[in-house]
């Protein structure tokens, strides 16, 4: 094995702070400074010396339970026009037909909104009963199809 034929390593490995002298950042204080509460343990946002005011943090709404870090709003399930190529001319595009043609998963809930976007082309005329973007609606009409729901945004 020739050492000159080895591939070069571009990325340096990350320094593992506080894992001994060989780690590159080890030993005495390990980047935490000397003494004090912050040097000894992790502290919460509302500790006494923090810049945040405790009264302000206490006034924020507090969510409890399993999904407290999830957002309230669920986004739309986006479908591109080229995914509608599984339909034949004159077919209706609905939630049920999308599930039947395996564009949507079978376990897809009806509470999540579905929207058709204009990526790709549509070759056949379809009747779309779902919300579409303006560009997608234009492409569907150009192919000879029609849109029943006029809530394009």
What is residue 126's predicted lDDT score, i.e. its pLDDT?
A: 92
**Residue 38 is assigned to a structural domain of this protein:** yes
Is it the case that residue 30 has pLDDT exceeding 80? yes
Contact 83, 122 (CB under 8 A): no
What is residue 116's predicted lDDT score, i.e. its pLDDT?
A: 93
Q: Domain total for the chain?
A: 2
State the DSSP string of 61-76.
Answer: ----STTTTS-SPPPP
99: left (phi > 0), else alpha (psi -120 to 50), else beta? Answer: alpha
**Residue 85 is assigned to a structural domain of this protein:** yes
Whether residue 85 is found in the same domain as residue 53: no
- CA dist 138 and 145 (Å) reads 10
Whether residue 84 is found in the same domain as residue 44: no
Mean pLDDT of the chain: 84
Residue that is written with structure tokens 């809530």 in the block: 151
Lowest mean pLDDT among 3-12, 118-127, 136-145: 3-12
> Percent of the chain beyond pLDDT 90?
31
Is it the case that residue 21 has pLDDT exceeding 70? yes
Domain that holds residue 115: 77-147
- CA dist 90 and 124 (Å) reads 8
Burial of 149 (0-12, 13-18, 19+ CB in 10 A): exposed
């Amino acid at each position: 094995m020739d050492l000159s034929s080895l591939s070069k390593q571009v990325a340096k490995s990350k320094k593992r702070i506080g894992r001994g002298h060989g780690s590159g950042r080890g030993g005495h204080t390990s980047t935490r400074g000397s003494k004090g509460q912050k040097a000894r343990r992790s502290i919460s946002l509302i500790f006494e010396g923090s810049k945040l005011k405790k009264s302000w943090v206490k006034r924020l709404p507090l969510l409890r339970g399993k999904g407290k870090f999830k957002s309230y709003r669920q986004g739309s399930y986006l479908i591109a026009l080229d995914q509608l190529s599984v339909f034949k001319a004159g077919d209706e595009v609905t939630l049920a037909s999308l599930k039947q043609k395996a564009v949507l998963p079978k376990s897809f809930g009806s509470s999540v909104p579905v929207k058709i976007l204009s990526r790709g082309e549509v070759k056949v005329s379809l009747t779309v009963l779902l919300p579409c973007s303006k560009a997608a609606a234009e492409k569907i009409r150009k192919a000879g199809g029609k849109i029943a729901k006029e809530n394009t945004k």
